[in-house]
């Protein structure tokens, strides 16, 4: 936390004020960390401080550790307040608004005193967190079991196209054929984030007679929409994202429709916690009647 504060503020004094410390103890903490790691993390400049090359390389890992520590603090605080059954769950961005709220509400109804921490992660990070036992279950885009991970699909999903405001394709009547995007610059999520989701999009484009060429790879579905709003290209997104209606972006259904990899509840069969078992039971009842499909049609 100390290194992150200095790296983000670019100044020891501002970082100390943010942390509620005086500057000497902050400097001492940084020096102790540098000694422990065996590398220099920060260098002082005339304007303040900045990460060294080694500090820049370690920054994402340290930021992730700090986020994990925050989640531990959240759960510990809720447990101190008398809550039981700690639940740690991960959720992909595109499920935050349609699948996560009903699931969390249903879990709260089933276990009102549960201590719950939610982290936003892409599918690849959620899979790793499940393998390491850092979360009990996740809402992610996986199409099948990948042992030891188990997958419970919550509903079908279809892709929609996000277009910048004023785009000519927004004026065409009826659902768009996917082939209409053949010459459009696409904003794609990298395959590493969610291989199944990426492969489904590429396969659909190839079936429509063209090879998708990413004009830019972006790190999240929200970033896709932001770049579309900026007029830099178009994007194929989960229909769940269309419910956000961000300014500067129009959405159109695709003819077919074009199937995508739906959201699934994922848990580790070899580390199945009480919280994971409850989530599976609740999700089966909540989404079995088609709620997931209705939500995904958003």
Tens of pLDDT, residues 120-143 = 998 999 999 999 998 999 999 988
Q: What pLDDT score does 131 carry?
A: 93
Lowest mean pLDDT among 33-47, 125-139, 259-273: 33-47
Residue 3's nearest CA partner among 78, 67, 91, 62 is 62
Structure tokens given for 156: 């079908």
Contacts of 38 (CB under 8 A, 6+ apart): none
Decide if pLDDT at 296 tops 50.
no
Structure tokens given for 8: 């983000």
Mean pLDDT of all residues in 197-218: 86
CA distance 106 to 15: 41
Decide if pLDDT at 290 tops 60.
no
Lowest mean pLDDT among 49-63, 65-79, 106-120: 65-79
Mean pLDDT of the chain: 85
pLDDT bin (cut points 50, 70, 90) of residue 295 is very low
Tens of pLDDT, residues 226-251 = 999 999 999 999 888 888 888 999 99
244 or 80, which is more confident?
A: 244
Decide if pLDDT at 1 tops 80.
no
Decide if pLDDT at 199 tops 80.
yes
Does the pTM surpass 0.85? The reply is: no
65 or 173, which is more confident?
A: 173
Distances (CA, A) of 211 to 123, 178, 214, 221, 278: 24, 11, 10, 21, 43
Tens of pLDDT, residues 89-114 = 999 988 888 899 999 999 999 988 88
Mean pLDDT of all residues in 140-168: 91
Sign of CA dihedral 185, 190, 193, 197: positive
Q: Are 141 and 262 within 8 A, CB to CB?
A: yes
pLDDT bin (cut points 50, 70, 90) of residue 32 is confident
Q: H-helix or E-strand containing 282?
A: helix 274-287
Q: What pLDDT score does 85 carry?
A: 64
Q: What pLDDT score does 298 carry?
A: 35
Q: What pLDDT score does 112 carry?
A: 86
Cite the DSSP H helix spans in 87-191: 100-110, 123-132
Decide if pLDDT at 181 tops 90.
yes
Mean pLDDT of all residues in 189-210: 88
């Amino acid at each position: 936390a100390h290194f992150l504060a200095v790296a983000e503020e670019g100044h020891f004094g501002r970082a100390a004020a943010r942390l509620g410390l005086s500057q000497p103890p902050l400097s001492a903490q940084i020096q102790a960390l540098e000694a422990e790691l065996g590398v220099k993390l920060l260098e002082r400049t005339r304007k303040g401080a900045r990460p060294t090359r080694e500090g820049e390389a370690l920054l994402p890992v340290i930021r992730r550790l700090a986020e994990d520590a925050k989640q531990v603090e959240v759960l510990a605080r809720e447990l101190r307040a008398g809550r039981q059954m700690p639940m740690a769950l991960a959720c992909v961005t595109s499920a935050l608004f349609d699948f996560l709220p009903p699931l969390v509400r249903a879990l709260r109804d089933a276990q009102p005193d549960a201590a719950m921490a939610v982290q936003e992660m892409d599918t690849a990070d959620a899979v790793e967190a499940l393998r390491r036992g850092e979360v009990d279950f996740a809402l992610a885009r996986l199409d099948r079991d990948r042992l030891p991970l188990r997958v419970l699909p919550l509903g079908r999903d279809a892709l929609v196209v996000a277009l910048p405001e004023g785009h000519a394709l927004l004026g065409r009547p009826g659902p768009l054929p996917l082939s209409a995007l053949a010459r459009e610059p696409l904003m794609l999520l990298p395959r590493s984030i969610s291989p199944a989701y990426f492969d489904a999009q590429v396969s659909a484009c190839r079936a429509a007679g063209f090879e998708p060429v990413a004009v830019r790879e972006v790190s999240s579905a929200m970033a896709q929409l932001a770049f579309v709003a900026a007029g830099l290209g178009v994007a194929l997104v989960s229909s769940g994202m269309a419910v956000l209606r961000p300014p500067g972006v129009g959405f159109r259904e695709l003819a077919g429709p074009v199937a995508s990899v739906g959201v699934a509840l994922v848990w580790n069969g070899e580390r199945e916690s009480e919280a994971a078992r409850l989530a599976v039971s609740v999700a089966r009842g909540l989404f079995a009647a088609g709620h997931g499909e209705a939500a995904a049609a958003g």
